[in-house]
């Protein structure tokens, strides 16, 4: 049986005993229904994970770390996803699947057609929620590295800050699909919102050195387009090996 994995944003070391956060304790106690002496894995997103035993189950759950294991290696292709913000559960879905697919960094963007407007307080609240979505996806996927979540950026000013060598924007009207093997170790993928980027924004992206990619003949939703591109990229230059299934 697979041992449940719990993320804890704290320093971890062998033989340490500590109480899980209130939220994690509730999950272990009431959702997983774990008891004293049950085993789980604890990680902090900085590589590797600890096998732990539950020593107390009260209002909060105490665990003691017993052994350390290296987690699986991160993808050799460092994918940075610049994703225009979508509404409600669609953004949660995008973040969750991006974590599962091995993305290194996620940059939420405000573009012309983004229908979500957030003041400073709401941005902070939304970022906290998104981080929790990503933590949960990291637990589920078996990753030991927690992807970086950037602050929310306005599109045009953000373009001026980019330093990545290989930049791709998904454009359903690009002249041809990209089929050759990805030669670089780092790639920035820009995905527009529901309704796509505006003509002005595409122009700005191309002027900033982005290459336009068209995935195929059909128009994909924002939450489908990015995930499809990431899966293809992981196959071309990352750690997906579909051939082993044949």
Give the pLDDT confidence of 159-176 residue by residue, as tens digits.
999 988 899 999 988 876
Average pLDDT score over residue span 178-189? 74
Average pLDDT score over residue span 170-198? 82
Are 4 and 34 in contact, with CB atoms under 8 Å apart?
A: yes
* pLDDT of residue 179 exceeding 60: no
Here the tokens at position 233 are 């990229």
Average pLDDT score over residue span 14-42? 92
* pLDDT of residue 217 exceeding 90: no
Average pLDDT score over residue span 229-236? 91
Strands 148-149 and 105-110 come out as parallel
CA 195 from centroid of its chain's CA atoms: 23
Is the whole model's pTM more than 0.85, yes or no? yes
Percent of the chain scoring above 70 in pLDDT: 94
The pLDDT assigned to 165 comes to 81
* pLDDT of residue 177 exceeding 70: no
Helix, strand or coil, per DSSP, at residue 103: coil
* pLDDT of residue 107 exceeding 90: yes
Are 223 and 98 in contact, with CB atoms under 8 Å apart?
A: no
Average pLDDT score over residue span 87-107? 94
CATH 3.40.50.2020 applies to domain 78-245: no
Strands of 49-57's sheet in order across:
5-7, 39-43, 49-57, 61-69, 17-19
The pLDDT tens digits for 112-160 are 999 888 888 988 999 999 999 999 999 998 898 999 999 999 999 999 9
State the pLDDT confidence band at 2, using cuts at 50, 70 and 90.
confident
Q: Give residue 152's region: left, alpha or beta (phi > 0; psi -120 to 50).
A: beta
Cα angle, residue 10 at apex, residues 44 and 24 outer, rounded to 5°: 75
* pLDDT of residue 238 exceeding 90: no
Segments making up each domain of the chain, as ranges? 5-69, 78-245
Helix, strand or coil, per DSSP, at residue 244: helix
Here the tokens at position 104 are 């290194």
The pLDDT assigned to 245 comes to 56
- CA nearest neighbour of 108 among 79, 84, 135: 84
75-110 CB burial, b ≥16 within 10 A, e <16: bebbbbbbbbbbeeeebbebbbbbbbbbbbbbbbbb
Average pLDDT score over residue span 209-236? 90
Which CATH superfamily hosts domain 5-69? Hypothetical PUA domain-like; domain 1 (2.40.240.20)
Are 52 and 66 in contact, with CB atoms under 8 Å apart?
A: yes
* pLDDT of residue 180 exceeding 60: no
Quickly tell me which residue has 């500590």 as its tokens.
18
Quickly tell me which residue has 């990680």 as its tokens.
43
The pLDDT assigned to 111 comes to 94
């Amino acid at each position: 049986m697979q041992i449940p994995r719990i993320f804890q944003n704290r320093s971890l070391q062998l033989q340490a005993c500590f109480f899980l956060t209130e939220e994690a304790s509730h999950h272990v106690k009431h959702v997983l229904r774990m008891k004293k002496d049950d085993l789980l894995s604890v990680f902090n997103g900085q590589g590797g994970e600890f096998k732990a035993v539950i020593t107390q189950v009260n209002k909060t759950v105490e665990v003691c770390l017993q052994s350390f294991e290296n987690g699986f290696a991160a993808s050799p292709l460092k994918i940075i996803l610049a994703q225009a913000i979508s509404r409600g559960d669609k953004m949660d879905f995008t973040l969750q699947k991006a974590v599962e697919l091995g993305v290194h960094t996620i940059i939420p963007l405000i573009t012309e057609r983004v229908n979500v407007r957030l003041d400073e307080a709401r941005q902070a609240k939304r970022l906290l929620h998104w981080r929790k979505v990503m933590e949960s996806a990291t637990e589920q996927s078996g990753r030991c590295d927690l992807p970086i979540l950037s602050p929310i950026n306005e599109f045009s000013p953000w373009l001026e800050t980019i330093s990545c060598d290989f930049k791709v924007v998904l454009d359903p009207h690009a002249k041809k699909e990209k089929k050759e093997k990805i030669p670089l170790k780092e790639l920035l993928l820009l995905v527009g919102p529901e309704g796509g980027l505006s003509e002005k924004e595409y122009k700005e992206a191309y002027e900033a050195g982005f290459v336009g990619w068209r995935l195929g003949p059909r128009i994909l939703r924002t939450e489908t387009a990015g995930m499809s591109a990431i899966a293809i990229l992981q196959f071309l230059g990352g750690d997906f090996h579909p051939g082993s299934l044949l």
